[in-house]
Amino acid sequence: MKDVMGVIYTSRNDLRLRELTMSRAVAALPVVSRYRIIDFVMSSLVNSGARNVGVIMQKNYHSLMDHLGSGKEWDLHTRNDGLFILPPYLTRDNVGTYGGMLEALRSNLRYLRRSKQEYLILTNSETVYNMNFDDALRYHIDNHADMTLIYTKASNIRFDQQVTDRHAYLDVDNRGNVVDYESGPVEPTYDNFYMDVLIIRREMLAHLVDQAVAHGERDFGKDIIQSHIRTGDMKIMGYEYKGYACRIESVLSLFRFNMDMLDVKTRHEMFNVNPVYTKVRDEVPAKYMHDSSAVNSLVADGCVIEGHIENSILFRGVRVAPGATVKNSIIMQDSEIQQGAEVENVILDKQVTIKRDGRLIGQPSYPIVIAKGSIL
């Protein structure tokens, strides 16, 4: 599949993720001991043969840009095509955020029009999945579709049920046609959860975006997808994705995604079926000292474990001192749990120190979040 490109729309910082997105994009959030959220969709596109990938950035995109670099880890550091970083257009009135996907695409029409690929995969960056798009593109072409929306069963995807305003659901008939699109329902009529991923001809997308903005429309989902489903003037198909998926849209969904990756079967599905690429950093292997113990945990290189860790995810350079206990927690890079301290159901951002004999206990349904650089 070489005649296809990818465009990743990174959303604005989400207040539901609290301190974790104060200085970084949601797409740049660290997950699973060494990855970032965007790695999964980037890898899915590259594994499907896309060699032209554009990433639409928004405010606080510097850590994301640093992570992506030249695209070398995804084999996108090429002279022709490759990785395109599309930063927001900054003015006195525009502080670096878009009003939505439609406005973001309108600002990057020049990039869309100068690209050469016939087909385009448009996706957000907050839905975590590992998918090879070959079958979906073939389905799109074979059915002569104008647009193919990729969905999964609501029971198959991790998402925060308290966050309803950003979810869309599809009614798909027995021939695969999308006949209805519900945007933000509190009580959905259908169980087909739209993953915010679609396939379309590049030139058609550019035309639809240009016309929508020219007529004062603002919402991509309602004013383009929903509108054309209602008028019936486009053939819009639905393609079901059946693998693991998670929408990262709150602290709870981020926490649950990481905890899901402690399950061997789920982790195998996400990482072994199709490879997931990320920025590589050389570190010494993790050290497990005398009297330390580790149960069902993912520990990155550079960690020093002298205490007890259980059902937890530790990023590079974390230190757990003798007598310290870490359970059901996410400990990000270069944090330190000092002697005798206890943390449970906690997310520590980078470079956090929990002092000697400190105690920090959250709930599985409401994990505690500690901001970067804090000392407690």
Q: pLDDT tens for residues 233-265? A: 999 999 999 999 999 999 999 999 999 999 999
Q: Which residues contact 231 (CB under 8 A, 6 or more apart)?
A: none
User: How far is CA 104 from its chain centroid?
Assistant: 18
Tell me the sheet residues that pair with 197: 123, 150
Q: What is the mean pLDDT of residues 59-66?
A: 88
Alpha helices, DSSP H, located in 250-293: 251-260, 264-271
The yes/no answer on whether domain 287-370 falls in CATH 2.160.10.10 is yes
Cα–Cα distance between 153 and 136 in angstroms, integer? 16
The torsion angles phi and psi of 59, rounded to 5 degrees, stand at -50, 145
Tell me the sheet residues that pair with 178: 172
CA distances from 306 to 34, 294, 338, 351 (A): 21, 10, 10, 18
Q: What is the mean pLDDT of residues 103-123?
A: 96
Q: What is the mean pLDDT of residues 214-239?
A: 94
Q: Which amino acid is at 137?
A: L
Cα–Cα distance between 44 and 197 in angstroms, integer? 12
Which tokens in the block code for residue 363?
A: 């709930």
> What pLDDT digit, counting tens, does each position of 346-355 carry?
999 999 999 9
> What pLDDT digit, counting tens, does each position of 127-156 carry?
999 999 999 999 999 999 999 999 999 999
* CB-CB contact of 326 with 308 (8 Å): yes
* Residue ranges per structural domain of the chain: 4-271, 287-370
Q: What angle do CA 142, 146, 151 make, to 5 degrees?
A: 80
* CB-CB contact of 42 with 8 (8 Å): yes
Q: In this predicted structure, what is the pLDDT of residue 14?
A: 66
Cα–Cα distance between 178 and 170 in angstroms, integer? 7
Q: Which residue has the tokens 């570190």?
A: 283
Q: In this predicted structure, what is the pLDDT of residue 114?
A: 95
Q: What is the mean pLDDT of residues 11-18?
A: 72
CA distances from 182 to 100, 200, 246 (A): 18, 20, 19
Q: In this predicted structure, what is the pLDDT of residue 314?
A: 98
CA distances from 347 to 40, 163, 177, 361 (A): 21, 20, 42, 11
Task: Give all strands of the β-sheet with 304-305 in edge-to-edge order.
Answer: 287-288, 304-305, 319-320, 336-337, 353-354
Cα–Cα distance between 267 and 85 in angstroms, integer? 29
Q: Which CATH class is domain 4-271?
A: alpha beta
Residue 371 predicted with pLDDT over 70: yes
47 dihedral zone (left: phi>0; alpha: psi -120 to 50; beta) = alpha
Tell me the sheet residues that pair with 193: 152, 169
Q: In this predicted structure, what is the pLDDT of residue 94?
A: 56
Q: pLDDT exceeding 70 applies to what percent of the chain?
A: 97
Query: How many CB atoms lie under 10 A from the CB of residue 134?
Result: 13
Residue 89 predicted with pLDDT over 80: no
